[in-house]
Amino acid sequence: MFRKFVCLLTLIFLACPLLAREPGDAPGEKEVGYALLESIAKTFHDLAAGGSKDETIKRIERFLVNSMADARKAKEMKQIDPVFFARYSRLLAIIKLSMAPDPGGILVPIIDQELKRFVNEVLAEDYKGSGLEAIGQVARAIAEETINLHLHLDNVEAKAKLWKSFEEKYREKPEKR
């Protein structure tokens, strides 16, 4: 168990050198964004190997806090764009909400509302609400959003090029008098 914990920390810290660089030395928003996304996948792969429920929740909490700090730093250094940051932050929030213990069920309406919105926006499905089917649905939505963020990074240049062509095509031409 200790070995898995050390591996998890090692993976989280692998992304830190990318985030610690000066903006001029940065490998670009793609690499930093990919590292942030990879840390989610790798962490949950490692967590699937086992551990007690309380220990797992604590590890996820630490991971989420560290990931959010890394994302904020990357955004400040302009290594990730605002769209990526907003969607990545939302992904971390959804993970936290779906894992958060709520023994009294006080937050159930708020959590369900956010999960419903997330599942609907990402998968275009109605949220199942409870049970194993709902858990699977949220997991699929998280995986789908992770892929969507990869696609966002893959297409940053293509999007900028398309915007430029639209601006040139539809720019108002001065009227001749």
pTM above 0.85, yes or no: no
- Tokens of residue 167, six digits: 């601006």
The answer to whether residue 91 sits within a structural domain is yes
Q: Is the dihedral of CA 78, 80, 95, 2 positive or negative?
A: negative
The answer to whether residue 33 sits within a structural domain is yes
Please state the domain count of the chain. 1
Low-confidence ranges of the chain (pLDDT < 70): 1-29, 47-51, 173-177
The answer to whether residue 177 sits within a structural domain is no
The answer to whether residue 47 sits within a structural domain is yes
The answer to whether residue 142 sits within a structural domain is yes
| Residue tagged 């926006």 (tokens) | 121
Our CA angle for 20, 3, 89, nearest 5°, is 40
176 DSSP 8-state letter: P
Q: What is the dihedral of CA 4, 9, 13, 14, to 10 degrees?
A: 10
**Residue range(s) defining the domain that contains residue 90:** 2-170
- Tokens of residue 163, six digits: 């915007």
Nearest to 153 by CA among 66, 29, 68: 29
The reported pLDDT for the residue numbered 81 is 92
The answer to whether residue 89 sits within a structural domain is yes
125 DSSP 8-state letter: S
Nearest to 123 by CA among 97, 94, 102, 103: 94
The reported pLDDT for the residue numbered 50 is 67
The answer to whether residue 176 sits within a structural domain is no
The answer to whether residue 175 sits within a structural domain is no
The reported pLDDT for the residue numbered 43 is 80
